[in-house]
Amino acid sequence: MQGTKLPRNSRGAKLWIAGVSTLAILVGCETEPVKQQAANGNESTYSTASKRKTGETEVVTQGAVAPEAEAGQAPLFAEGGLAVPASPSDDHFADAQVAPQAAQVQGYSAPMEVDRTRGADYSVLPLPGEGENYIATSDGPVKQVAVPEQRISTFSIDVDTGAYSNVRRFLMNGQLPPKDAVRIEEMINYFSYDYPKPEAGGDPFRVTTAVERTPWNNETYLLHVGIKGYEPPATERPAANLVFLVDVSGSMNQPDKLPLLKSGMKVLTDQLRDDDKVTIVVYAGAAGLVLEPTAGKDKAKIRAALDRLQAGGSTAGGAGLALAYAKAKEAKIDGGINRIILATDGDFNVGTTDIDQLKDMVAEERKSGISLTTLGFGEGNYNDALMEQIADVGNGNYGYVDSMKEAKRLLADQLSSTIQTIAKDVKIQIEFNPAVVAEYRLIGYENRALNREDFKNDKKDAGEIGAGHTVTAIYEIALKGSKGLAVDPLRYGEHADERADPNATEFAFLKLRYKAPDGDVSKEIGTPLLISALKETPETPAEARFATAVAAFGQRLRGGDYVGAYGYDQIAEVARETRGADGEGYRAEFIELVEMAKALDSGS
C-alpha cells in the first residue's frame, strides 16, 4: 500500500537543536514551514515529490524539502529538556530528569526564526493537514460471486476510532479531510449501537444481522453485521498495569499536543483503582523513566509527575517503545490488564523510524502479553499511518484526541473498552450463495482484508474487541437478476444464469473466529443468513439506519463513487430520524459535521 504525506511548502525557518549531554537534552524545535494553499481551499500547490519504500509499505512524500540553515546563520535556543537515558538501578532517576518547573508554560510555543532574506510571510499560520502521513487505500471493489475466488469475504474486525475524530478535526478547522484520512469502518465504529447483549457465561460477544434496501440504490441491499461485546461490571475488571509512554519531543510543544495529553492522562488517572499501577516513560532525543510503578491510590503522585513534563528535542520513539515494554514486563500482573498507552503525534525522527521495523518490534513484544494502545495528538506533522498500524499489530486500539471531550470519552467513559480485551484475533468470513447473490462489496475495512486461508490460521493476527465494544460491518449486495448490478453478469460458467434460484433458503453463511484474551487456539461460530430476510425486509432498526448514514458520509468524503446522487442532505435527514437518546451528544455532533462538510464541499 502507498502512504500519502500531505505537503509542506519549503519556505520558513528552522529552530535547531543546540546539543545533547548524557544528563539532559536541550530542546530544539523545528518550526513548521508554511504551505501555499490552492484557491479551492482543499488542494495545494506542490513543487517536488519523493518516494521511499520500506518493506511492504510505500511512503510517498510530496512537497519541497525545507532548506538547511545558511552558513553563518545563528541558531536559536529554547529552554527545556527532559529525556535522560534510562537506568533502572537509579532510584532517583525520575526526579533527576525532570526540567525545572519555571520552564514549563502550558501552551508555550518556541519562537520562530524568520529568514527575512527570503521574504517569508511569518504571519500566515499553517493550515490543518499539511505534512501529515496516511496510508493510501482504494475503495473496496465490487466482487462477483460467480467467480469462486471472489465468493468469500474475509477480514479482521476493527475497533479503532481515530479516523472519525481526526476527520472531525479537519471539518472543525474548516477543511475537508484528505481521502486517505477517511477510514469508513472507524467512522461507523466510533458510535455505540444498541445491539443485543451476550449472555453471561457464554461467548464474549453476540452477533446480530439486519438487512435494508440501500438508500442510494434501491436495486441493492445493505447487510449489517453487528457485534456487541460483553461488558463485565466495573468491580470485576482485573487490576491494570499501565505504562504511560509520553512523547515530550519538540514537536509536542503545542497547546493541542502535550498540554492536552497531560490533561487527558489526568482524566485516566482519576479512574484508577487502588490495585492498579502506573509507570510513566518519556522519550525525546532518548528514552527515560519519569515514574516508577506507582499504585493507583497514589493519584497525587501520578498527577504531579504528569505536571512536570515539558517538550523539547528530537523524537526517539523506537527507544521509548523498547523501554516501555521493558517496564511493562517488570510490573506485569498475571491475569490482569497489561497495556502501554502511547501518546504522541507519531513524528518519530531519530533512532528506529521505519514503520515496518517498528511493527516488527511491536509484533514480537505482543507475545509477552503486553498490549499497545495509541493515542494521537496534534496536527501539521501528524503520522496517522504509524499510529494506526502499530496499534493494530500491538493487540490494541487507536484513538485520536482532538479535545478534552474526546479524552474523557476514551479514558473515562469508555475506559474498560479501551484497556480491557475480551476477545482477540477476531475474524469475520462470509460466503455468499452464487445461486442468489450476484455481487457484493464491503464498505470500509480496506486495510483489514485477509486471505481466505487466514481465517483458520491461528498464527494470523487480527483485531481485538474491548469490554462493551460494538463493531459494525456493512455489505452492499446485489441479487441475481437485479437492475442494480455494477458489473455485467458472466455469460459462461456454472452460475452464469441471471435468474436467482427460487428454491434457495440461504443467501450467505456468516462465520466468526476468536481467541480468549490469553488464548492461542481460536473458537469458531457460524450462522446461515436466510433469504427470507431479503424477500420480506422488516422495518430497518434505527441503529442500523444510523450506521448507514455514517457509512454514506464516509463514502461521500472519499469521493462518493458508489453513492451516486445521495448527498449530505439525505445523510443528515436519516441521522436526525435515528439520533435516539444520544445522552452525550455524539450523534447530534455528527449531524453538525455533515452540515459542515456540505458547506465546504463545492461539489455538493
Q: Give the tens place of pLDDT for each residue, 428-469.
A: 999 999 999 999 999 999 999 999 999 999 999 999 999 999
pLDDT at res. 93: 29
- Quick one: average pLDDT of 237-251? 96
Alpha-carbon span 381 to 377, nearest angstrom: 10
> Is pLDDT above 90 for 493?
no
* Contacts of 573 by beta carbon, 8 Å cutoff, 6+ apart: none
* DSSP structural state of residue 21: -
As a whole-number percent, the residues of the chain with pLDDT over 90 amount to 67
- DSSP annotation string for 514-573: EE-TT-SS-EEEEEEEETHHHHS--PPPHHHHHHHHHHHHHHHHTT-TTTTT--HHHHHH
- CATH 3.40.50.410 in the chain, residues? 239-419
Strands 437-443, 398-401: pairing is: unpaired
Least confident of 116-120, 288-292, 500-504: 116-120
Asked whether residue 70 carries a pLDDT value surpassing 80, the answer given is: no
Would the pLDDT of 50 be above 50? no
What is the number of other CB atoms lying within 10 angstroms of the CB of residue 466? 23
Q: Are 31 and 92 in contact (CB under 8 A)?
A: no
Q: For residue range 336-370, what is the model confidence (pLDDT) as tens digits?
A: 999 999 999 988 865 677 888 999 999 999 999 99
Residues 6+ apart with CB under 8 A from 572: 549, 591, 594, 595, 598
Q: Which CATH number fits domain 239-419: 3.40.50.410, 3.40.50.300, 2.40.50.660, 1.10.287.370?
A: 3.40.50.410
* Rounded Cα distance, 365 and 8, in Å: 35
Please give the C-alpha separations between residue 568 and each of 209, 553, 562, 573, 593, in angstroms, as whole numbers: 26, 7, 14, 8, 10
258-270 vs 299-307: helix crossing angle, rounded to 10 = 180
Inter-residue contact 429 to 153 (CB < 8 Å)? yes
Model pTM greater than 0.75? yes
pLDDT of the residue at 192: 95
In the chain, what's the furthest Cα-to-Cα distance? 84
Closest CA to 554 of 216, 316, 286: 216
CA Rg value for the chain: 25
- pLDDT(277) > 50: yes
Q: What is the 3-state secondary structure (H, E, C) of 372-441?
A: EEEEEECCCCCEHHHHHHHHHHCCCCEEEECCHHHHHHHHHHCHHHHHCEEEEEEEEEEEECCCCEEEEE
Q: How far is CA 156 from the centre of its chain?
A: 14
Which grid coordinates belong to 534?
Answer: 431479503
CA distance 253 to 602: 35
Residue 336: Cβ within 10 Å count: 18
Q: What is the pLDDT of residues 361-373, one digit of tens each?
A: 999 999 999 999 9
